[in-house]
Chain A
């Protein structure tokens, strides 16, 4: 990097910072817009993450039940565990003896006396099988059925399918909303910078008149956009953090809501910070460049 380039870079950074202070209100408005857009995008993404997480949890509870042949003793039946774990896509298995199965069955009813005379042998030993990927439930069910000693496999295929469909639809909706928000943010940002550049059109005209190249004229504006982008992203991150923590406390604190789990902010904070910085800086730089286009025509 030559001396002139370092000079230019120093000039861009200095002018960029200076301009933020001399055009205080516009800078404030720009940061405000970046913060608002990022918070909306961030909140929506966090809702999406939590919904996804809860869906995944519910989905993983949708297990397959594999019944063991009646000819197997409890010990023999238990011995099938390793074979079942070896089947592709099986995450974990839980053995339920015929005695436990009977107990569970009877517990479902208010009046256990009606089941008097039933013996554990009337039930089969069984395994509750949890999967890594429930979208492959049908294939996994078929593989489990092939294991010697397993006589019947029950799977809630329709339930798994509806989970997958819901998750896909939600995923697409989240992506579409995020894309729309991004375009709207860019549009607002670009118009805000347009106002700034309109305010400074005289300065730009003078720069052109004295022979500044387009890159040189654009430089300070782009740096200004970048700096405002960074400030906006960091502010948005802190606000998002605060907002999320308050809402999380409220939700977890309310007695009625026990069936949902909430992803802690720390689990997604790095991702959110990275995404905010990338989007914020991107909006800053791209917005400035877009707004400058008309002023740089020869």
Chain B
């Protein structure tokens, strides 16, 4: 569960990115966070992953109070989250399998657990035949699916995807969204940050719209009508 209460963020250079944000995402929800560039979407993600701290307000993520969390505990908070980026962020000199296994190993998983879990997750994202390929040997859509597998492999409570389809064509984008929907149906909370109106409107999900650092709408109608 994620809860932001009266959260504001002013960067050191004086830029006000968020003002009085109240947002609650329950376990198992599928939420689109939409808004134009510079609206504050990425700032929300950075706050949730503990990359930056709020100037004001309270943030709770999967049972961790981010106002009081100790730096030593930060890795454990991050293990409850699976983060996906627009630019995939794969390690170029590791194979698909190694990229996914790497995330498990980073949390101290045993070799036996890795050998059991990684093939399962690769199968889930439809990449079992690509396990031995390097990232530059597969397509952009496939690379994003590797990133999704990596985010999923530690069985996080929540997946946060920052513009996951930004570098993909419409067909591949739809595939990725459907994959994330499938993951949500398996019980993982999903938060997708995007500005792709057409894509959001294909799904009947909760849409939170943000602009100028304020939440301007939050509806279950699944329609992104912000211009």
Contact = CB atoms under 8 A, between A and B. Distances in A.
Interface of A: 3-4, 7-8, 11, 22, 202-203, 205-214, 216-217, 298
Nearest to A8: B108
19 contacts: A4-B108, A7-B110, A8-B108, A202-B91, A206-B103, A207-B106, A209-B89, A210-B102, A210-B103, A210-B150, A210-B154, A211-B75, A211-B77, A211-B79, A211-B106, A211-B107, A211-B154, A213-B75, A214-B75
Range for the number of chain B residues in contact with chain A:
20 to 34
B14 interface: no
Contacts of B81: 211
B108 A202 contact: no
Given A22-B93, A202-B89, A209-B49, A11 B75 contact: no
Contacts of B17: none
Contacts of A298: 50, 71, 74
A298 B93 CA distance: 25
B24 interface: no
B107 A210 contact: yes
A23 B184 CA distance: 40
Interface in B97-118: 102-103, 105-111
B93 A210 contact: no
Contact of A211 (B76, B93, B110): B76
Contact of A210 (B71, B106, B111): B106
Contacts of B105: 7, 11
Given A7-B108, A206-B103, A212-B75, 9 more contacts: A209-B49, A209-B89, A210-B79, A210-B103, A211-B77, A212-B107, A214-B75, A216-B106, A298-B71
CB-CB nearest 9 A-B residue pairs: A212-B106, A211-B79, A211-B78, A210-B103, A211-B75, A298-B71, A213-B75, A298-B74, A210-B106
B82 to A, nearest CB: 8
Nearest to A5: B108
A223 to B, nearest CB: 14
Contacts of A203: 91
Q: Which of B78, B91, B108 has the most CB of A within 10 A?
A: B108
Q: Which of B89, B103, B106, B111 has the most CB of A within 10 A?
A: B106
A11 B72 CA distance: 22
Contacts of A212: 75, 106-107
Contacts, number: 56
A208 B78 contact: yes
Nearest to B71: A298
B83 interface: yes
B207 to A, nearest CB: 26
B106 to A, nearest CB: 4
Contacts of B89: 202, 205-206, 209
Contacts of B108: 4, 7-8, 216
Nearest to A207: B106
Given A211-B75, A213-B75, A7 B91 contact: no
Contacts of A4: 108, 110
A3 B150 CA distance: 23
B37 to A, nearest CB: 22
Q: Which of A11, A206, A211, A212 has the most CB of B within 10 A?
A: A211
B83 A209 contact: yes
B46 to A, nearest CB: 11
A64 B110 CA distance: 74
Nearest to A209: B83
A215 B225 CA distance: 47
Contact of B111 (A7, A22, A208): A7
A239 B93 CA distance: 34
A205 B110 CA distance: 22
Nearest to A7: B110
Contacts of A8: 108
Contacts of A202: 89, 91
Contacts of A11: 105
A217 B107 CA distance: 10
Given A4-B110, A298-B71, A209 B78 contact: yes
Interface string B153-170: 010000000000000000
A3 to B, nearest CB: 6
A216 B105 CA distance: 9
A210 B78 contact: yes
Given A4-B110, A7-B110, A298-B71, A206 B79 contact: no
